[in-house]
Amino acid sequence: MSDILRELLRVSEKAANIARACRQQEALFQLLIEEKKEGEKNKKFAVDFKTLADVLVQEVIKQNMENKFPGLGKKIFGEESNEFTNDLGEKTVIRLCPTEEETVDLLNKVLNGNRLASEALAKVVHQDIVFIDPALDLIEINIPQDILGIWVDPIDSTYQYIKGSADIKSNQGIFPSGLQCVTILIGVYDIHTGVPLMGVINQPFVSQDLNTLRWKGRCHWGLSYMGTNIHSLLPSVSGRNSRETQSQETKTPSSEAECPHPFSAVISTSEKETIKTALSRVCGERVFRAAGAGYKSLCVVLGLVDIYIFSEDTTFKWDSCAAHAILRAMGGGMVDLKECLERNPATGLDLPQLVYHVANEGAAGVDQWANKGGLIAYRSRKQLEAFLGLLIQYLGPADAHT
């Protein structure tokens, strides 16, 4: 099974190279943007865009996985359609061709005859990538391939990707906007139970060389299956269950009892006022705003904040699956906010974890796969329970999810 995870990491790095290559020249980049059509739009944005980078990344992931693991490509689902229309109104289905030259010819149609740009992109698409992580060699686990489904968000935070701000300053390590908020998300789940099993988050734009203006990225991963929990953030990966290791490292509210605001949270800039007001009472000044659902989840994975909370229904399965899998491997998870607020802890019901295999009834288009009740991402169950206890106190019953 480490072979599938290793290949996902390899293709995520290839995807990051594509994302970086598409951003390298501004003149080229302007050719790549196409407005999304009705039915594909995220209703959160008045104008929503897809880019050739999005479509290329998604197709490269699909076809690389299919080549290595026949049958798996058909079980990879993502945000983007693979159809692109150029300035002349000519529609082209983007795919990874067998040879670099064929890919050049295909991209040339999309890029209105810009052969130099097409050749530069095709070179990156066909470039061989070697991804080495010694921790992967320690994973000896067999997950049947036929139970796996994969959600891909080829470029999360497309608006920040298009805007391309490189000079945003972080606030205690958290970037409110900019290229650092862009992520490539690959989440693997059990098609029968909907439980996330493996996750890869690739951050293509982490640091920039001021001389060459070239970007370097980083990649994080996690695996959680049948009692085996392992992730890339462990200081040293051993045979021990990382869930046990993590629970010892994670601070609990009781150890911070003297602190009036023991929690920190990251939120969307569009979060509701009622939630923001309640959070200011729970977290004080430790509420951070950031772009990108994938990036906000990553802030929790990295321990920059305790909680990512979002009350709207405008994140989707491809936004949350990757981080959810990594958080599970760390002893955390991702739950439905609405159900948490309506839950009676006295009944002993388990927390409503998000699942990834069932579409929303009566919904059409992308809304079929929306996280309808909002979400909370967390690293520690004890922390989540204590956080929810405080949040519910400060939210009136009518305010909880209106």
Kindly name the residue from 79, 190, 271, 306 that is annotated as catalytic: 79
Contact between 269 and 398 under an 8 Å Cβ cutoff? The reply is: no
Instruction: List residues bridging with 196 in a β-sheet.
Output: 189
Q: b/e per residue, 107-122, with b = 16+ CB within 10 A?
A: bbbbbeebeebbebbb
**Annotated catalytic residue 141:** no
Find out whether 306 is annotated in a ligand binding site. Answer: no
Q: Is 167 annotated as a binding residue?
A: no
Q: Given 51, 92, 103, 158, which residue is catalytic?
A: 158
Contact 121, 144 (CB under 8 A): no
Q: Which two tokens stand for residue 263?
A: 């929690």
Cα three-residue angle 314-317-322, rounded to 5 degrees: 120
Catalytic residue among 13, 34, 80, 156: 156
Residue owning tokens 């967390």: 378
Respond yes or no: is residue 150 known to be catalytic.
Answer: no
- Cα–Cα distance, 105 to 12 (Å, whole number): 24
SS3 (DSSP) at 189:
strand
| Residue 101 among the catalytic residues | no
Integer CA distances (angstroms), 322 to 9, 79, 319, in order: 12, 14, 7
List, in sequence order, the alpha helices (H) in 178-289: 242-249, 273-283
Counting every residue written for the chain, the total comes to 402
Query: Which entry of 184, 319, 326, 336 is annotated as an active-site residue?
Result: 319
Is 263 in contact with 282 (CB distance < 8 Å)? yes
Kindly state the helix (H) or strand (E) to which residue 104 belongs, with its residue range: helix 100-110
**Whether residue 79 lies in the annotated active site:** yes
90 Cβ contact list (under 8 Å, min separation 6): 109
Please indicate whether residue 3 is annotated as part of the active site. no
Any known ligand binding at 319? yes
Catalytic residue among 54, 190, 306, 313: 54
DSSP structure string for 329-384 = HHT-EEE-HHHHHH--GGGTPPP-B--SS-PPTT--GGGGGB-TT-EEEES-HHHH
Give CA–CA dist 221/239, Å, rounded: 17
| Residue 137 annotated in active site | no
Distance CA 48, CA 50 (A): 7
- Residue 373 and residue 309: Cα distance in Å, rounded? 11
Place of tokens 């608006």: 159
Which residue in the list 94, 150, 155, 267 is annotated as catalytic? 155
**Catalytic-residue membership of 54:** yes
How far from chain centre, in Å, is Cα 132?
Answer: 21
Catalytic residue, from 153, 190, 306, 336: name it.
153
Which residues are annotated as catalytic? 54, 79, 153, 155-156, 158, 319
Q: Which residues are annotated as a binding site for Mg(2+)?
A: 79, 153, 155-156, 319
Annotated binding site: 79, 153, 155-156, 319
